[in-house]
Amino acid sequence: MAQGKTVQAVRDLFKAYPVVPALRTGRDVDRAVKLGPRAVFLLGSSVLDFAGKIKALQGAGHVVFVHFDLIEGLRADGAALDYLLSEAAPEGVISTHKSVIDLAKKAGLLRILRIFVLDSEAVRKGRQLVTTVKPDFVELLPGVALTAVEERLLRDFSVPLIGGGLITELSQVHSILKKGVTAVSTSDASLW
């Protein structure tokens, strides 16, 4: 596994720093480098700059999850993952695609499956996908919707949950975490 990080080690980071920086720009990366070590999500990168961003974040002590689907210039296939790992090995990947999560597992990376919770049927299908794919974490989007979701529906997921998307207020963070969600990701730097 990249950098030898375990699910428990990342859960411990989430417990210490439950607000996860979701980094979309080079400026976001520069801000995150100045933070104490924690888990970060790299959401904005291209084939030209992902390696430098990952290495800068890891150099600051961060555990880096790269959103594989959002790396401009790469396809979601095994060759692209091999290329990613040859250039800069993040500790984990984020994806909405089963195939990427499966490839990441074979490569020994930590895995976050992103699921959109648009309605109760999407939640049901998401839970089914989790039992098939077996990711290490699930990120539910939009995270702000979790403030209205019954805790019972969230408990039915068999892995630690992360809420992400449209989270701009500290009160939203607290409300989501009270639902038993492990962490909250946001690109709003004022909440990091």
Q: Report CA 166 to chain centroid distance, whole Å.
A: 15
How many other C-beta atoms lie within 10 A of the C-beta of residue 10?
23
Q: What is the pLDDT of residue 1?
A: 39
Q: CA–CA separation, 47 vs 94, rounded Å?
A: 16
Q: What is the CATH number of the domain that holds 157?
A: 3.20.20.70
Identify the pLDDT of residue 40: 98
Look at residue 3 in the predicted model and tell me its pLDDT. 46
Q: How many domains does the chain divide into?
A: 1
Cα-based distances in Å from 158 to 11, 101, 137, 186: 15, 16, 9, 23
pLDDT of res. 162: 98
Name the residue range of residue 44's domain: 2-191
Sign of CA dihedral 98, 103, 105, 109: negative
| Dihedral, CA of residue 182, residue 106, residue 32 and residue 56, to nearest 10 | 160
Q: At what angle do helices 50-59 and 78-87 cross, to 10 degrees?
A: 50
* pTM score of the predicted model: 0.96
CB 165 within 8 A of CB 143: yes
Closest CA to 130 of 91, 166, 161, 104: 161
Query: Can you list the residues of the chain whose pLDDT is less than 70?
Result: 1-4
Report pLDDT for 5.
87
Give kind and range of the element (H or E) at residue 113. strand 110-116
> Of the candidates 36, 34, 76, which has an alpha carbon nearest to the alpha carbon of residue 66?
76
